[in-house]
Amino acid sequence: MSSSPRSLLAALAAIVAAALLGGCATGMGKDECAAADWRMIGYEDGLRGLPADRIGAHRIACAKHQVTPDLATYMEGRDRGLVEYCQPRNGYRVGLNGGSYANVCPATAEAGFVNGFRWGRQIHDARSDLRGTQSRLRSAREGLVHTDNAIVGATAELLLPNVPKDRRVFLAQELVRLGQDRTALAARIDELAVRAQQLAVSVQQLERQSPYAL
């Protein structure tokens, strides 16, 4: 697939912008720049869904080695890579892995890719929400165990003979506080447990409904 004049002009503009802004180089060394297969580099960048200004970063990296990227060849390779990247199922994978989309797909492929991406991202976000809720639930349960142990310890000390009066007052107040903490934690655990169950069901439903399930 040959690059369109428009894509070449966009890449040229990206090179100029990267040079003016001092964009981040790609870390290509002297030998890599000298032996660069710009078609393959473009293909790999397209396959990764990188924006057109990536060529500007390659240019900066190789400029210090007096090597200039072959723009037309790079863009030809990038276009080939984008053909594979912009498949709907790949959009699903990108979204499912929490990746981002840099608006690189051509108009003819973008709708399908974005639909897959949105499905994947929706499931990714639901899974992330579930993991976060499960983590908070574990922390609340650990807090309940810690609080129960503290209640047992304070109660045992309060029952000991010869405990100074001021210490008894403190322990009594501490038991009230711990009891309040326990009540709040128990309610929090119930709330989180229900939420985790709801999210687990939601994730399962999304996974079953997805037309792109892997």
pLDDT digits (tens, 9 = 90+) for 136-159: 999 999 999 999 999 999 999 999
pLDDT of res. 150: 98
Query: What whole-number percentage of the chain has pLDDT above 90?
Result: 72
Structure token digits, residue 178: 């711990």
For the chain, count helices (H), then strands (E).
Answer: 8, 0
The C-alpha angle 139, 143, 144, rounded to 5 degrees, equals 120
Structure token digits, residue 66: 């007096």
Mean pLDDT of 8-23: 42
Mean pLDDT of 12-41: 64
pLDDT of res. 29: 78
Q: Does domain 119-209 have CATH number 1.10.8?
A: no
Asked whether residue 5 carries a pLDDT value surpassing 50, the answer given is no
Burial of 100 (0-12, 13-18, 19+ CB in 10 A): exposed
Mean pLDDT of 46-59: 91
Q: Which of 72, 68, 44, 73 is CA-nearest to residue 58? A: 68
Name the DSSP class of 98. Answer: T
Q: Which residues of the chain are in CATH 1.10.287 domains?
A: 119-209
CA–CA separation, 38 and 79 (whole Å): 12
